[in-house]
Structure 1
């Protein structure tokens, strides 16, 4: 029997096509009709794998969550809770900044997404094992998600135009070099993330020490 000219449709192919479309054009570009055209299939054939467009977006979000490194939370790993949180946060942000257009879906929480739930489970379990009370471990997981997803939703540096005449010193005396931020976007945004992450972990370390004394 002759081999089919095109690969058979699968969930993985649909997710890959949707992810590429989201990366290139944003969430608004995704529709079942557009995806079917990209895949060279009829629209109804997508419903054999996903019931709705929202299910496809959820699957793309979960595929991004699956890229996050969780090995620092393994019971055999010798990193302390603070180092583990730092390394995980860096990995999580890297996954999100590679796919910034899907962040609004991820920011809503893991819901029923398997990879997203594994992330939440790993963080919570590691914090409890480290000695944090369960309620505080929950707060830490929420806090880290707020901070990481927030950092990936936009770029501080891109919020300023690169026109040196845009910010009149008479009106903005301290923004004389703000037009240079966009040129150094990656350095500025990564530096801000690391500064915030260190400050956050420093604060948690103070709370952890107080718990140990108590």
Structure 2
């Protein structure tokens, strides 16, 4: 028999196509009709692989989370592991900013998201953090990273210098958008450093400096 003109439909093709639509145009651009058209199939074909549009969104979100590197937990001390994870997490979200609001809702039943949460929590508990504190730390870092990926501080300012004439402390604010990467990256590094320094002091207080080694 002749080969089909389109590759056989599967979950991977559906997720890749849905993610491409979201990356290009945002969450509101995704519909099952639009997705089916992009794939060259009829809408009902999608439901052989996903029961609902929400399931497709979950799979797209999880495909982004799956790119986050959690391998430092168990290989580095807890602070270095958190730093490595936070940078990897931010890179993953920055590559797909339109899915961030959906990801921010929590892991739900998504396998990669649950695996990431398990790696972070497990690494912190193995390092000596009390379970409740490990939960707080994972949540705090997630809030910080997700917030940093929701938008650009620098890009939020207009490049019109006249806009700031009545704001004497913002006379150079029109230059911020032109330095977006350095401003936003610098803010992220500064905030992460502050969080980790504060956590190190908390660790010494409630666990003790003698356990500040590796997770293994």
Partner secondary structure for residue 189 of structure 1: helix
CA offsets, 1:90-117, max 9 Å, x none?
Answer: 0000000000000011111101000000
**Counterpart residue number, 1:177:** 172
Q: How does 1:4-153 map to 2 (within 5 A)?
A: 4-73=4-73, 75=74, 77=75, 79-153=76-150
CA shift at 1:146, angstroms? 0.6
Contact 2:22 2:98 in 1 (8 A): yes
Question: TM-score, normalising length from structure 2?
Answer: 0.95
Please identify runs of 4+ aligned residues in structure 1 that moved more than 6 A: none
Give the number of the structure with larger relative contact order, counting CA–CA contacts within 8 Å between residues 6 or more apart: 2
Counterparts of 1:15 and 1:165, CA distance in 2: 46
CA shift at 1:213, angstroms? 4.5
Any gaps of 5 or more consecutive residues in structure 1? none
Question: TM-score, normalising length from structure 1?
Answer: 0.96
The 3 A distance-change label for structure 1 pair 208 and 9 is: same
> RMSD value over aligned CA atoms?
1.1
Any gaps of 5 or more consecutive residues in structure 2? 210-216
Counterparts of 1:56 and 1:71, CA distance in 2: 27
CA offsets, 1:149-207, max 9 Å, x none?
Answer: 01101110111011122211xx2001111111111111111110000000000110010
Equivalent pairs counted in the alignment come to: 209
